[in-house]
Every structure is written in structure tokens, then in C-alpha cells.
Chain A
Amino acid sequence: MTRKTLFLTAALGTLAAGFILSGPARAQASVAQALSAGAAGEQSDGYLGVTGSASPAVRAEVEAINIKRRAAYTDLAAKRGVTVADVAAATGCQTLASRVKPGQVYRIGTGPWQTKGNDPIALPAYCATAGQ
């Protein structure tokens, strides 16, 4: 490798890193807005979902987050010797139990989107002690 190609590679790398780093912050801002607007919400399966009112941009960001979530679930599943779906479901129990705020929407299984009130969400039976 010549010096020139090395320099070029480094420059491209820095550029790519810049994009990657600036990505999540932007994604989070508009997904957070979508969450409070009811355009996106947590699902019991451990992933984010979008409702009918979500914009294409929000949909794309939700999809990007879900891909990263799946990667994180896959890592943990391999460490614990369980399926990715089990890790995802366990995480879904946690998000529904403690992260969805009143006024935000959520969905259990393939059921309808529901708006959280002031009471805790009625979790699926397999969550058992998630709220405690």
C-alpha cells in the first residue's frame, strides 16, 4: 500500500465514522418525537413498531434501530444459550413494564396499538416478574 492510498483510506474512514456517529443522535431525536406523538411505540416482541401516522423518515429510523436491537439480542442470546426471540421477548417485557410512558402507544403480540394510561400495562403471562 502506498502512502497515498493509506491517506485516502484514513480520510474515508474518518468520514464514515462521522456519519455513523451522527446517525444515532439524529435518529433518536425524531424517534423520540414519534414516540410521544404516538406514531411509533414499543412492542412486546422487543422491537419498535410504527403506527399508520408514522412518516417514511421515522419508519426508516425505527427499522435502523430494530436492526441494531436484533444484533444486541443475538449477542446476548449466544452468551446465554437461548433463542434471539427469547431475549427479544424478555426485553419487550422490560420496555413495556418500565419505559413506555402514559400517553405513549404500545402493542402486545399482533394486537392493536393501545395508549398507555396511568395504570401499569397488563403484561403477557410469560413476563411474570418483569415489573417487580
Chain B
Amino acid sequence: MAKVLLKGNEAVVRAAIEAGCKYFFGYPITPQNEIPEYFSKELPKIGGAFVQGESEVASINMLYGAAAAGARAMTSSSSPGIALMQEGIGYISKAEVPAVIVNMMRGGPGLGGIQPSQADYNMCVKGGSNGDYRTVVLAPGNVQELVDMVQEAFDIADQYRILCIVLADGLIGQMMEPVELRKPKERPIPAKDWALTGRNGGKTHRVYNLKLQAPDLEKDNFDLFKKYAVIEENETRYEDYMMEDAEFAFASYGTASRVVRTAVDRLREEGYKVGLVRPQTLWPFPYEAFNRPQIKKYMDIELNMGQMVDDVVLGCGDKEKVEFFGHTGGVLITVDEVCDFAKKIMGGAK
């Protein structure tokens, strides 16, 4: 299929529809408004439905309903809106209905700003809702990967009956890149015999969220975590760049990782043995990718105050080996800044 030049937000819609998503529920928030706008135009054409929810709270609960009804459905928002959705995220996780959320992150906390940020790492990766649960978190680094991951998110969600968050930032949403819509790899996707479809002559379907007896709830949670272990085994993903002979490594994802990639090129030209490890899944997190004895320092670069640092430390097992540089509040990092920071860490070690 020929490439098309698409804005990230529009690409999300194309990819979702390609993946069979027919229902979208969402509430306006910058910088992701092209997503609901485009869906509102496209979904009626294919016999689906677009509903502008009265709030993010309503939107996520509409998604809960549509997903429980067996459909491929999604919502999208940006940071403060995702904060409001945390209630529904917990319910969807407990009920194990497969659903997809796209978060085009902006600066926080609170109302924050509208510029690109990665400040929702903790909220989305560690869980901002109550209880023991996990959501798969995919972190695209460019618009093509955004498209691939949105499509795959629906498959992963269905395969494991789990909520899948595509965690991008406002820049990926707003920028344009050539994109090709291609089929994701085949996955074993079970039939949704649990879905609310009416009895239709068969058994009654019930989607629960409450377990009043503690031992019953504990058993459910144990079962959830058995499933999570399988996902950790199967779905952990990262990309190495210039890591073969590297003595120092950047740790970075999403838009920040692109700036870092250019910094790696520049530092390599100057003779530094430096590479980049880019997590593509933030949960499950690629801990083993940061467990390389030959690496002297990991340099974590993010558009926040260092929310991934703990995970990199867990990966390499030595907090003395991890350094952080970033900007917050929607300020973007520059290649110069990353190079200057890295040189301070690496010293004269070329």
C-alpha cells in the first residue's frame, strides 16, 4: 500500500478503523482534538457510532459498555482527561474487557499546559486507578509506529482481554510523517463468548466488577497477575540503536528518543561509544534491556522530571549507574542539550 502523509492524530483514526474499531467515545481536549473530529466524520460511514461524551468520566464508561458488548471501541484524550478516566480504567481492568485508549500527553500537573510532554508515565504505567492491576502501555516513537501500535493495541487487548494504552505525546499527535497502513502480525484472538449480546438462546452473560468476599477477590487478582506474567513474557519490546559496542547508553522513549537518536549520531561522529535503548512497551517494561554489565552509565532522557528512572534502576540494579536529564511542563529538549549533558556524564571517555 502506498504511503500517505498523515498527522499523528489523523493516523490514529485511520489505524483504528483499519483495525476494526467502529465505536469512539471522547471529550474535546487539546492537543488531540483531530482524533474525535475525524472519528465523528468517519464512523457513521461504516455503520459505527461516535458519541461525544459529556465528560471524560462518561466517555470511559461508554467505552466500558461498548467493549463489554463485544465491540472494538476506543477513546482518546490528553493528560488531564486521562486523569479523569482513571475510574473507568480500573473498572475495565477488573472486568477484563478489551479496550484501547490513546493518550496524547501534555504538560502537567493539574490543568498544566498544552505543549508536548511525557509526564503521564507514572499515571499510565504504574496505574492511576485503585487496586492491583496493569494495563499494556505502548510508546510509539514516530507516526508510523503510532499507526502500527494503534492497530496492534486492539489485537493485544482482545488476545489478553486487557486495556491497552497507546502513550504518545502532543508532538506525535500534531506532526506529519509518511505512513503505511499494514497488517499487524497474526495473533490468537479468542471468541468473545463472554460479551453482552443478549442471551440469544444461550447462556446469560454477566460482567462483574464487585467481589464482596475478600478471598474471591484475591483469587481474581491472582488470576489477573497470572495473565500479566504471560504478557510480560510475550509482549516486552524495545529497540537498540548503536548499542553493539556502546559503553554508555541513553534510555528514552517517544518524542524524546528521537532527539536522543540525533544526539547519538552526533556524539558517535565525535567518537563517543554511546547508544540508545528505546522501550517500545512501558508496561511490560524491558528491564533486561538495561542489564548490561559493559554499560558504564545509563542516561535517562525524558520530557518530565525523571519518571522512568526507577524502572531503569530496577533494570540495571545500580542506582549509581543512572543519570537523568529532561525538560518538563511542555518544554522540549534539544540535541545540543542532550549532547552537553552526555559529555558531562561520559567525560573524556571516547
Q: Check if A and B associate.
A: no
A→B interface (CB under 8 Å):
none
